[in-house]
Structure 1
Amino acid sequence: MGELIDKLMERWGVETIGGLLLILFIFSITGMTALYVRKLVFGWLGFSSQTPLVVEILAWVLVVFPSYQILFLFFGFILGQFEFVWNFEKKSLHRIKSLFVRENR
């Protein structure tokens, strides 16, 4: 197999190509669905090309980011990969938290 595929399988603890493809599918379907949610919510809020960028960024952080996290967990659960998705979420959110909070060591 390719070097990238081997690295992903090892890093994520996946034993089969099918498992890896399923996880990659979960990432892709989550991203596409989050974009759909963004389009719906931004349309509902009346955003247009005239909307200030700072307002769009704030709305993205408040709407799209959390919806992505929820959708990721949902699709992981539905497709039988909840344990992987849950552990991935915890690591990702811990990394994001560490950008804003200094831990005492």
Structure 2
Amino acid sequence: MSESKQGWVSRLEKRWKVTRTQVFIILLVFACTGFTVMFLKRPIVALFTDNGEQPILFSILYYILILPVYNLILLVYGFIFGQFQFFWEFEKRFFNRMTGRKNG
């Protein structure tokens, strides 16, 4: 099958070097992580701001500080769903790109 005729799931299988079932589990982990971070935001905002009002500085700090929390939650869900190794490698690649390190 040509590259253009492959479905997006097949392309993810090839890119991530995983099975079709693993693709869906990995996407489920990303979804669970995103929902968790979304649900955590409201109580965090309420705890650190008055009447839920978000000063711009708070918003900037929140988005900077939520990144490591997101990555930690991603690893936890990856462990729960049996895909820890995939997400551990994913995190290493992510932080290598952020820090400008080459894979060695």
| TM-score interval, smaller chain | 0.7 to 0.9
1:90 partner amino acid: K
Unaligned runs of 5+ in 2: none
Provide the secondary structure at the position in 2 that maps to 1:14.
Answer: coil
Provide the secondary structure at the position in 2 that maps to 1:80.
Answer: coil
Contact preservation (8 Å) 1:14, 1:20? yes
C-alpha displacement of 1:2: 4.2
Match of 1:57 in 2: 60
TM-score (norm 2): 0.81
Match of 1:66 in 2: 68
Per-residue CA deviation, residues 22-49 of structure 1 (Å, 9 max, x unaligned), is 0000000001001112222111112634
**One of 45, 50, 54 as aligned partner of 2:48:** 45
TM-score (norm 1): 0.80
1:29-44 correspondence to structure 2 within 5 Å: 29-44=32-47
Match of 1:94 in 2: 96
Unaligned runs of 5+ in 1: none
| Matches of 2:15 and 2:43, distance apart in 1 | 35
C-alpha displacement of 1:94: 1.3
> 1:20 and 2:60 equivalent?
no
1:37 partner amino acid: L
Contact preservation (8 Å) 1:38, 1:60? no
C-alpha displacement of 1:13: 1.0
Kindly report structure 1 stretches of 4+ aligned residues shifted beyond 2 Å: none
1:5 partner amino acid: V
Taking every aligned residue pair, what percent have the same amino acid on both sides?
Answer: 31
| Matches of 2:43 and 2:58, distance apart in 1 | 16
